[in-house]
Amino acid sequence: MDEAADTKSGLLWKLQNIDRRILYLVLLVVVAIPVLRPMNITNAVDPMSEALWKTIDATPADKIVLVSSTWSKATRGENGGQTRALMEHLMNRRIRFALSSFTAPGAQVILDIVRDMAPRYNYQYGRDWVHLGFQASPNNFVKGINADFRKTVRQDFVEKKPLDAFPMMARVKSIDDVHMVVEISASAVHNIWMQFIKPGVRVGFCPTSVMAPESLPYYSSRQLAGVLWGAKGAYDYEQLNVRNGTGRYGMGREYMAPLSAAFALVIVSITIGNVAMFLGRKQTRRGGSGS
């Protein structure tokens, strides 16, 4: 057997070239364990999540929070947890809110979540919350509500009635009556709010993890009042809710353990690959086969 063939059969070579199907299988097992046996993961709350929680918590009684839901089932793992944690907080503090969406599925997914949670907190449609529905033209919607909600949204999403039909909207005329806008999204929709909303209105952003870094410059310049970073952001928010008695653990904690397990596997596999590469090189320099 020549030296090259001998090297390729060695343990160090094998550790540098693990078959991807084996990696997939290991990942499946590693993620399945915390899914089947839920566990707590120690977490440090990010200041960006805390900033969002504090801004929402400071909502005055005469103002509402506008929650925009621009996500679908594809990102439920991250945006679903964020939405639930946010709604727990709003409903526990009895903060009135309006929902809207820049995508058709987004309007439905948040409606399903709120309908599921509302009975637990005795949240009544029209009195405590309304749904403005899918808004096909984001720019015009934001510019419109800056001046007048009624001229921008002719009817609500659930009962198809004019906004004047709901007691909650009696004192809500324009964006001046909104304490904060929170965008829950899988894409960079926060730009629309920051570009077109009336200056002074706070904007919070709940993106997926891959989108979160893009929003960092705006949080740093205080154009965003807070950011929830994917599934970790959801867990952060749940922790803040539990700590302050405004909610309980849910999807955020449930999803954080499998996520952490997957991260751990990524780190371990990178380490194995590099250690094997270094030892292999060392042996090659000494004139060995790397096995």
Partner 1 sequence: MFSLIAFFILSAAYRAFRIRSIEGSILMASALIVLLGLSFGVIITQWIPATGLAANLRIETWSSWVLGVVSLPALRAIDFGVGLGALAMGLRIWLGIERGALFGE
| Contact yes or no for 65/59 (Cβ under 8 A) | yes
Residue with tokens 């909610």: 247
Q: From residue 40 to residue 79, what is the string marking binding to partner 1 with x (rule CB under 8 A)? A: -xxxx-xx--------------------------xx-x--
Single residue of 117, 118, 262, 279 touching partner 1 by CB under 8 A: 262
Question: Dihedrals φ, ψ of 198, to 5°?
Answer: -60, 130
In the numeric block, which tokens belong to residue 54? 């504090």
Residue partners of 59: CB distance under 8 A and separation at least 6: 65, 93, 95, 179, 180
CA distance 261 to 39: 11
Single residue of 265, 279, 284, 288 touching partner 1 by CB under 8 A: 265
277 in contact with partner 1 (CB under 8 A): yes
- Count how many Cα atoms sit within 13 Å of the Cα of residue 78 in the half-sphere of its side chain: 23
223 in contact with partner 1 (CB under 8 A): no
Single residue of 104, 151, 220, 243 touching partner 1 by CB under 8 A: 220
CA distance 260 to 178: 37
Single residue of 7, 269, 283, 291 touching partner 1 by CB under 8 A: 269
CA distance 204 to 121: 24
Within 120-179, which residues bind partner 1 (CB under 8 A)?
none
Single residue of 92, 111, 214, 249 touching partner 1 by CB under 8 A: 214
213 in contact with partner 1 (CB under 8 A): yes
Q: How far apart are CB 230 and partner 1 at their closest, in Å?
A: 8
Residue with tokens 């929830």: 228
Break the chain down into helix, strand, coil percent, rounded to 5.
60, 10, 30
229 in contact with partner 1 (CB under 8 A): yes
29 in contact with partner 1 (CB under 8 A): no
8 in contact with partner 1 (CB under 8 A): no
Which stretches of the chain bind partner 1, using CB under 8 A? 18, 20, 23-24, 27, 31, 41-44, 46-47, 74-75, 77, 208-209, 213-214, 216-217, 220, 229, 232, 256, 259-260, 262-267, 269-270, 272-274, 277-278
